[in-house]
Amino acid sequence: MDVTTASAELKAKQAPLKERYRNEPEAALITLTADGELDGSGIACKVKTSTALVEAGLHPATGGDGTQLCSGDMLLEALVACAGVTMRAVATSLGMAVAGTVHAEGDLDFRGTLGVAKDAPVGFRDIRLKFNLETDADEEQIATLIKLTERYCVVLQTLKNSPTTSVAVTTS
């Protein structure tokens, strides 16, 4: 499918959604959910995705054996997925032909996670997102593509603008 056709199809699919959300703002508020099951044996959490059940565990730097998914890796994977999909949607909407790769990396100091140093942060210190693009677009078009991808990437904006987060517990 050529870029012009893909752009027209995407706009046709999104037009009624945009119109509805303009007229009924409350319809645009969606609660996404994720669920996990604490494994009774071992240090793991089974996470239900839309296509599979995956098992997350400790990163090898914290005592894991590397056979389970690491939640830090999953966060970076979510960023790559969201940024990639967002970029493709923006490029399609703009009628730009874009291919290539998306790469994310983040720096962690595991002393914080393991409670070894109180001054070491728990979590990522820095995260870097990189696109390696194959495109005929000029510099101005690429700048627009990046600006809009950054603006509309849900995971990137969530990381940049930490939302209010709460924790609750119930027991049975």
Per-residue pLDDT of the chain (172 residues; tens, 9 = 90+): 788 898 999 999 999 999 999 999 999 999 999 999 997 778 999 999 889 999 999 999 999 999 999 999 999 999 999 999 999 999 999 999 999 999 999 999 999 999 999 999 999 999 999 999 999 999 999 999 999 999 999 999 999 999 999 999 999 8
Q: How far, in Å, CA of 42 to CA of 38, rounded?
A: 9
DSSP code at position 61: G
Q: How far, in Å, CA of 147 to CA of 140, rounded?
A: 11
User: Comparing C-alpha atoms, which of 85, 127, 120, 126 is closest to residue 102?
Assistant: 85
Task: For residue 87, give the amino acid letter.
Answer: M
CA distances (Å), origin 5, targets 2, 128, 144: 5, 33, 21
The pTM of the full predicted model, rounded to 2 decimals, is 0.92
Task: For residue 99, give the amino acid letter.
Answer: A
3-state helix, strand, coil in the chain (%, to 5): 45, 20, 35
Q: Strand pairing of 98-108 and 124-135?
A: antiparallel
User: Comparing C-alpha atoms, which of 104, 148, 107, 151 is closest to residue 125?
Assistant: 107
CATH 3.30.300.20 domain range(s) in the chain: 71-172
* Class of the CATH-defined domain 71-172: alpha beta
